[in-house]
Amino acid sequence: MGRKKKKQLKPWCWYCNRDFDDEKILIQHQKAKHFKCHICHKKLYTGPGLAIHCMQVHKETIDAVPNAIPGRTDIELEIYGMEGIPEKDMDERRRLLEQKTQESQKKKQQDDSDEYDDDESAASTSFQPQPVQPQQGYIPPMAQPGLPPVPGAPGMPPGIPPLMPGVPPLMPGMPPVMPGMPPGMMPMGGMMPPGPGIPPLMPGMPPGMPPPVPRPGIPPMTQAQAVSAPGILNRPPAPTATVPAPQPPVTKPLFPSAGQAQAAVPGPVGTDFKPLNNTPATTTEPPKPTFPAYTQSTASTTSTTNSTAAKPAASITSKPATLTTTSATSKLIHPDEDISLEERRAQLPKYQRNLPRPGQAPIGNPPVGPIGGMMPPQPGIPQQQGMRPPMPPHGQYGGHHQGMPGFLPGAMPPYGQGPPMVPPYQGGPPRPPMGMRPPVMSQGGRY
């Protein structure tokens, strides 16, 4: 991508100031984020197009472009990709990018060797366009007077591209090198502090670059090489320094494949990352209490991030096994929303067999099997006290089984009243066989 001269700027979205590698992607982004109808999700091509659609189809007026930054929300402006961007905004953008690159370049160029200063700023900026810094925008090489020497460097130009791509891979290795790099970069020849660091770069160095060492012996050459060398070497630090910048584009593809699969959201990361402050704006519409909001089954569970208008949610109602919130694009593999999977499952008689009813014997004692056993033989210690009251009303979950010996060893005694007290409880030993037992047994038998 980054050939010099790409309209002098990487494609960027006028509405939200984001950068893209390709105009196609930019257009897709605009369609998905800015020209998408919030009512029916139809993607239009331009702002005015969207406005007209909303008016004609939904009878609604729209006065601002969705997801646009303040100041860039004009719906009347016909912008498609990079076309239609007002000249002054373009200029502003260019200036902004220049500034940014200058700044970051300058930072890196805090070095102790003055010789390279001018050349470097020239050379480095000239290399800006290299793909490593997608965000930096393009600064026409022509603008850099320092360049001419570069072609002079034997084999330089052809050598450069190979280095560039090579740079990112170096990055991981960079860190150890990096710290020494920036200062060392510049003085390529002058200082060898980055000595250990240089070798890794060396291979990447264009053929024209003799190792720094012999520099002194080649003053004129040196100059030329110094120009380019630092320039090249700059690359690596530059990218690392601004690594955070390229990050997002890099991570985008990594992002959940869900992002790609969603019909509704072709856009990059933004959709998935949707910062909370966006969604709450819409989610607060139906405040928590409106559980009923969930009943609306419709749509777009996938595009929930964007359109909370359709409170997705599953129809709590009917819908036998699976939830069908289908918006024809998605389906939630989950039964009714109202209760959790565990609650649903726990209602099954199979899982309630042991719970209930009075007379439950201490569980587990019996057969349990090899390992096992546990249940402390602490007989007769039904814990009552605090526990008791709640007992009686147990609807679905069956009775308590308090068979389990109560609390800690040591403190036992208080429950002198054990057995007689509570009909439902039995101490360990007595265990009147209740209907329960058998199931318990069998349960144990499972193991």
Instruction: Map the footprint of other proteins across residues 326-345, applying CB under 8 A.
Output: 326, 328-335, 337-345
Q: Which stretch binds other proteins (CB under 8 A): 122-130, 132-140, 368-376, 427-435?
A: 368-376
Write down the least CB distance from residue 440 to other proteins, Å.
Answer: 8
Write down the least CB distance from residue 200 to other proteins, Å.
Answer: 18
Q: Please tell me whether residue 375 binds other proteins under the rule CB under 8 A.
A: yes
**In 10 A of CB 349, how many CB atoms?**
7
**In 10 A of CB 428, how many CB atoms?**
20
Q: What is the DSSP letter of 110?
A: -
Q: What is the DSSP letter of 68?
A: P
Q: Please tell me whether residue 360 binds other proteins under the rule CB under 8 A.
A: yes
CA torsion through residues 415, 420, 423, 426, sign: positive
Closer Cβ to other proteins, 93 or 311, answer by number = 311
**Closest Cα to residue 446, out of 350, 376, 362?**
350
- Are 295 and 316 in contact, with CB atoms under 8 Å apart? yes
- Are 272 and 259 in contact, with CB atoms under 8 Å apart? yes
Closer Cβ to other proteins, 161 or 366, answer by number = 366
| Of 148, 351, 417, 438, the one binding other proteins by CB under 8 A | 351
**Closest Cα to residue 447, out of 363, 328, 323?**
363
Cα 56 to Cα 249: distance, rounded to the nearest angstrom? 37
Q: Which stretch binds other proteins (CB under 8 A): 22-30, 33-41, 203-211, 390-398?
A: 390-398
Interface of this chain with other proteins, residues 254 to 273, rule: CB under 8 A: 254-263, 269, 272-273
Interface of this chain with other proteins, residues 169 to 198, rule: CB under 8 A: 175
Write down the least CB distance from residue 318 to other proteins, Å.
Answer: 13
- Which amino acid does the sequence have at 61? T
| Sequential DSSP letters for 228-255 | HHHHHHHTTHHHHHTTTTTHHHHHHHHS
Write down the least CB distance from residue 344 to other proteins, Å.
Answer: 6
Tokens standing for 353?
């067999």
Burial (0-12, 13-18, 19+ Cβ within 10 Å), 73: middle
**Binding-site size, other proteins (CB under 8 A):** 102
Q: Which stretch binds other proteins (CB under 8 A): 10-18, 131-139, 146-154, 394-402?
A: 394-402
Q: Which stretch binds other proteins (CB under 8 A): 62-70, 145-153, 230-238, 367-375?
A: 367-375
β-sheet bridge partners, residue 43: 36
Closer Cβ to other proteins, 76 or 276, answer by number = 276
Residue 444: its H or E element: helix 437-445
Interface of this chain with other proteins, residues 220 to 249, rule: CB under 8 A: 243, 247
- Which amino acid does the sequence have at 445? G
| Of 373, 379, 419, 430, the one binding other proteins by CB under 8 A | 373
Contacts of 333 (CB under 8 A, 6+ apart): 322, 323
Interface of this chain with other proteins, residues 277 to 316, rule: CB under 8 A: 277, 279-280, 283-284, 288, 291, 301-302, 304-305, 308, 311-314
Q: Which stretch binds other proteins (CB under 8 A): 49-57, 72-80, 81-89, 319-327?
A: 319-327
Interface of this chain with other proteins, residues 73 to 102, rule: CB under 8 A: none
Closer Cβ to other proteins, 166 or 362, answer by number = 362
